[in-house]
Structure 1
Amino acid sequence: MPLFHAAWLYYLSNPALVINGLALFYAVAGSWLVFAGQWRSGRGTAQLTAGVSTGLDDDSAALNNRVSRMFGRIGLGCLALAMLLSLLSTLA
């Protein structure tokens, strides 16, 4: 039996489990993005407080903050999607 055919039959017999697996994937990816965004912004703040010269001008620092906020927003979106998928799996 081909692999994709077996996977499709498994999906048809256990849709809630497959949807929960997808929700788990989005939750892990989202939590990693939130963590990475916090780590990026915390690293920049720690360097500024310690007085370490980062060699970045104001534009680069602003870009770094924008990227950190983008990480957080996409991460929270992934976490919200994971919650939605998890709730939908209870209906399946």
Structure 2
Amino acid sequence: MFPLQAAWLYYLENPALVLNGLALFFAVNGSWLWIATQVRSSLGRQRLATLPPSESELSLNRDQRINRLFYSVGAVCLGLATLLSLTSTQL
């Protein structure tokens, strides 16, 4: 039996393992997105200190919208990871 066929049969016999792997994938991506957004916002605050007040206000509004989007996508990923993990315990 070929290694890929053996792996496929193993995953077919263990669907909870596949769901947990997918949950781990989403959890890592969501947490990375939150951490990267936090680092980006702290670097953005340092950059805003060097800009003139008129430009910093426009840049601040844009950065807040982008950060809100990234935090939302990260929260959706973490929520999906939680749901997948809970679903895998029922299999």
Higher alpha-carbon deviation: 38-47 or 76-85: 38-47
Instruction: Report deviation, 1:13.
Output: 1.0
Structure 2: gaps of 5 or more residues: none
What TM-score results when the alignment is normalised by the length of structure 1?
0.79
Identity of aligned residues (%): 53
- 1:33-72 correspondence to structure 2 within 5 Å: 33-48=33-48, 51-53=49-51, 57=55, 58-72=57-71
Residues 14-60 of structure 1, C-alpha deviations (whole Å, 9 max, x = no match): 11111101100000000011111112222223444xx4338x82333
Instruction: Report deviation, 1:6.
Output: 3.5
- SS of the aligned residue for 2:51 comes to coil
RMSD across aligned C-alpha pairs, in angstroms?
A: 2.1
Higher alpha-carbon deviation: 7-16 or 78-87: 7-16
Query: In 2 relative to 1, CA 47–38 (structure 1 residues): closer, same or farther, beyond 3 Å?
Result: same
Aligned length in residues: 88
Runs of 4+ in structure 1 off by over 4 angstroms are none
Counterpart of 1:63 in structure 2: which amino acid? R
The answer to whether the 8 A contact 1:30-1:76 is kept is yes
Higher alpha-carbon deviation: 12-21 or 38-47: 38-47
Structure 1: gaps of 5 or more residues: none
